[in-house]
Amino acid sequence: MRNQPAVTALLPAAGRGERFGSEQNKILSDLLGRPILAWTLEAFAQCDDITRIVLVGSEGDSDRLWELGDQYAKGKLQAVVLGGSTRQESVRRGLDAVGTEYVLVHDAARCCITTELISEAVGATRIHQAMTVVRTVTDTLMRRSGELVDRKDLMAVETPQGFQTDLLRRAHLSARTEGFIATDDASLLRRLGRGVHLLESTTPNPKITYAADLLIAVALLTARTAPQLVAPLPSE
């Protein structure tokens, strides 16, 4: 691993979290005694495959984000960048601070990320130059019109998503020039005809969107940090 090109974790954390229903940025809300973002930062800080961390935050949060970096990022926090009005714009701005060959973009709000999944994502990025974590869809799905969609054809697209950094920069530039907006980064490469490796995961990695999602995060993080407090899961 020592001779491998370095990898920056780029964590967009500048969302307003309107669906969460809190005055402050949701990633600063409490989760088991520390801010949601602290869990995300710690996972990336503990992963040896990650060299540096770039945080993208909202105006007014910068001091707090640096403080959390000092506390949880083990000296890996390199920059706190001011975000934009969309996730895509926030990532684009964050990319300006990335100086490594590879970048792993991960929603700061997915705070149950494990170091194991981060390492798998880095490995896949080095091999394929572009990857995303995906998950099999288990619900029955339909359009708002009522038409059913066959879930066999669908996957939920999550983060982390890893890229050769210049490849992602070019995809962002092209999207911006042509006014294309997506809710993730892999889509920006795919629209240019670039293949994106799919890393299927069964490790729960929910994005905290609604306040009730915190209950799921509490269970997942407690299972990891104090497994004696939760019933054992059936072995697979």
Q: Determine which residue in the list 46, 71, 86, 115 makes contact with ligand C5P, applying CB under 6 A.
A: 86
Comparing C-alpha atoms, which of 26, 101, 13, 97 is closest to residue 59?
Answer: 13
Q: According to the binding rule CB under 6 A, does residue 68 interact with ligand C5P?
A: no
**Cα separation, 71 vs 2, whole angstroms:** 25
In angstroms and rounded to an integer, the radius of gyration of the C-alpha atoms of the chain is 18
Q: According to the binding rule CB under 6 A, does residue 87 interact with ligand C5P?
A: yes
Q: According to the binding rule CB under 6 A, does residue 14 interact with ligand C5P?
A: yes
**Cα separation, 128 vs 114, whole angstroms:** 21
Comparing C-alpha atoms, which of 12, 16, 4, 81 is closest to residue 48?
Answer: 4
Window 177-196: contact mask with ligand C5P (x via CB under 6 A):
------x-------------
Q: According to the binding rule CB under 6 A, does residue 52 interact with ligand C5P?
A: no
Q: According to the binding rule CB under 6 A, does residue 98 interact with ligand C5P?
A: no
Q: According to the binding rule CB under 6 A, does residue 207 interact with ligand C5P?
A: yes
**Cα separation, 101 vs 155, whole angstroms:** 28
Q: According to the binding rule CB under 6 A, does residue 108 interact with ligand C5P?
A: yes
- The binding site for ligand C5P (CB under 6 A) comprises 12-15, 27, 56, 83-87, 90, 107-109, 183, 207, 209
